[in-house]
Structure formats: C-alpha cells, structure tokens
C-alpha cells in the first residue's frame, strides 16, 4: 500500500438519514456546499422529482438538510419543460464573490418520441451568493444526442488547479461506447466571458496530456483507469490540502460501488479506494459530495483539510414505484468520515 493510501482513514458507512426521515424529498443531484461569511453553510440542491425544484438548505456538516430558503434559476431562453431541466452540480467562488455553477442540462421530450434526447454540460452564474442564478450556455455535448438512447452525461465533479477548471462527465461515441472524460477551461478567461454572458473556450481531454478536442462535436478520451467497474460521473471532486492530492468520487450504477480516485495532476488517477459496496443489481450510489467537518475548507468546498464527510445515497436503480426500496425515489442517505493522518 502506498504512503498516500496509508494516510487515509475511512470510517464504516453510517446512515445519516433514512428514506422515511427524508420524507417526500428525493435526492436527484449532488449537494453544493457554500460557506457563508458568518461561518454557517448553505447547501444547493436541484431536484426535479418534486416541487420546488431549487433548494438552498441552511445547515451544518452533521445536518445539511436544515431550513430550505430556496434559490431561483433563470433558464435564459433554454428549453427546460419538465422532465427536462438544469441541475447545478458544482460551484466555484471568485474572490469578489461571483459564483460560477457547473451544470447538468437535460432536454428530454417524452411527448414526441421522434425528437430524441439530449444531454449537456453547461455554466450558470450568480452574483448574490447563490440566491439566484442565470444559465449562460452549454459547453459540452455527446455524440448520441438527438437519438433514442439516454446518453446521460452525469457530472459535474470540479477540480481546480494551476489556473484551470477541470470538469468530469460521462461521454459517448457514435457507436454508443461509454467513458468518463474531462474538459478544462481557464479560470480568469471563464470569468471574463461569463461577465459578458458568453461561454468560454473549453476543450475536452484528447489524451496523453493534450486538451484539444472540441467539446460540443467530438468525443473525449477516457481519463480514468480500468478498475473492474464501469464508472459513472454523477459524483464530486475536491482538493485535499494535507494530502496535496485531488480526490474524485465515482459511482458504478447497478454494480453498486462507490469509488474514490486519487490524482496528483487532475489527469492521472493511479490510485483508488472502494468507499462503499451496496446491493449489486438493485442499488447505486450517485450524488456524493464532500463536506468539511473541521472548518478547514474554501468557501466553495473545492478545498478541504484533514477531516471531512463524504455523503451519498444508496438509491434504487428501478423507476416507477417511489415507495419501493429499489426504486429511484427511495433514498437511504449515508456518509463516511474521512481523516487524513
């Protein structure tokens, strides 16, 4: 075992809230923690499983689901009639307080089968601490958009390194082959474009240190190693300061594993840990997120210290009966405590 892996202590999974305790609330996206100026936290969450869709919980590391004061989303002319929508999955806070949201967007037309289904990664911006957002536009697509296949791009784990945003998502080629790829954009260039309500230049991962692939027209290269399970990018990323490593969670759908990948450079993830094993074929663990428990973190939770939780649900893989244990609408919400030695 490497020195890095030996320094990571992970507690056994702990049930944070049962499905009964969550009530009508369905976990439909990862949470986006934001630290307020007074040291309290709010947790953004988007759910199209019930109304309201746009939640902003005032909570604590131990109890994220506090008072819900909601947030607003301006679709900016993009078609988002349900079941389509925009989910904020990660955020970055600039020094002046401006927030950029990294979004998952779906355009699904269940009323017109000939229309097809489309999935995108996009950007939104907030100038009031996350109370209201405006969607600026799409920055990544996949080759199966417009077809009958639900080529869900998932996303959007965010890592921040050396003046760049690195984002991770599912990608598909024209033959339907799946991989987790990445894209990157310059942090300051992104801000300048967003202030003009334009999307910035973005490039998908081409492979071998090259980032030149058109994110809207071409398929990116796989960025994760083969660990025996098919990764899915409904997940989260963070920089761990005491480790000086970048951490990326990935779930595996019905293979029922939650995996923590570890990297020095946001490109090579040569170490991993299995965080959780659920009931194979019946449960999955999407929408994980990192939450500092010692206060040693950035305001946008993109950097954390030596003590933190990883929250995630064990969620059914079926659809259609939300009261059944193995349906998507059923959530037992777990967490593991991570301590860095």
307-319 residue pLDDT tens? 999 999 999 999 8
Q: For residues 95 and 42, give the distance between their C-alpha atoms in angstroms, rounded to a whole number.
A: 18
Distance CA 307, CA 295 (A): 9
| pTM (two decimals) | 0.97
pLDDT of residue 320: 83
**What's phi and psi for 315, nearest 5 deg?**
-120, 145
The CA-atom distances, in angstroms, between 223 and each of 49, 126, 171, 233 are 31, 30, 11, 12
β-bridge partners, 124 = 101, 135
* Low-confidence spans in the chain with pLDDT less than 50: none
Strands 67-68 and 54-59: antiparallel
Are the CB atoms for 293 and 41 separated by under 8 Å?
A: no
CA distances from 16 to 46, 182, 252, 275, 324 (A): 19, 31, 21, 16, 20
| Cα distance between residue 136 and residue 199, in whole Å | 7
Q: What does the block give as tokens for 225?
A: 């190693």
pLDDT, position 251: 98
Looking at residue 198, its pLDDT comes to 98
């Amino acid at each position: 075992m490497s020195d890095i892996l030996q320094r990571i202590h992970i507690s056994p999974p702990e049930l944070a809230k049962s499905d009964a305790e969550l009530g009508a609330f369905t976990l439909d996206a990862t949470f986006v923690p934001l630290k307020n100026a007074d040291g309290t936290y709010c947790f953004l969450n988007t759910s199209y499983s019930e109304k309201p869709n746009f939640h902003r919980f005032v909570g604590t590391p131990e109890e994220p689901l506090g008072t819900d004061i909601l947030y607003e989303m301006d679709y900016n002319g993009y078609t988002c009639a349900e079941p389509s929508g925009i989910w904020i999955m990660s955020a970055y806070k600039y020094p002046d307080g401006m927030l950029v949201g990294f979004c998952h967007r779906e355009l699904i037309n269940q009323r017109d089968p000939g229309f097809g289904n489309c999935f995108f990664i996009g950007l939104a911006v907030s100038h009031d601490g996350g109370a209201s957002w405006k969607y600026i536009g799409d920055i990544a697509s996949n080759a199966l958009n417009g077809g009958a296949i639900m080529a869900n791009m998932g996303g959007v784990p965010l890592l921040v390194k050396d003046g760049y945003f690195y984002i991770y998502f599912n990608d598909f080629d024209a033959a339907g082959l799946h991989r987790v790829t990445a894209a990157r954009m310059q942090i300051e260039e992104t801000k300048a474009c967003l202030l003009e309500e334009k999307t910035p230049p973005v490039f998908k991962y081409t492979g071998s240190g090259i980032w030149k692939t058109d994110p809207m027209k071409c398929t990116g290269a796989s960025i994760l190693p083969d660990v025996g399970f098919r990764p899915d990018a409904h997940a989260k990323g963070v920089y761990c300061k005491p480790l000086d490593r970048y951490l990326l969670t990935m779930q595996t759908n019905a293979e029922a594993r939650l995996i923590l990948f570890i990297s020095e450079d946001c490109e090579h993830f040569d170490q991993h840990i299995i965080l959780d094993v659920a009931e194979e074929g019946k449960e999955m663990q999407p929408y994980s997120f990192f939450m500092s428990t010692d206060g040693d973190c950035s305001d946008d939770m993109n950097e954390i210290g030596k003590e933190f939780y990883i929250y995630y649900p064990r969620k059914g893989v079926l659809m259609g009966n939300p009261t059944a244990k193995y349906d998507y609408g059923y959530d037992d919400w777990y967490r593991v405590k991570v301590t860095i030695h």
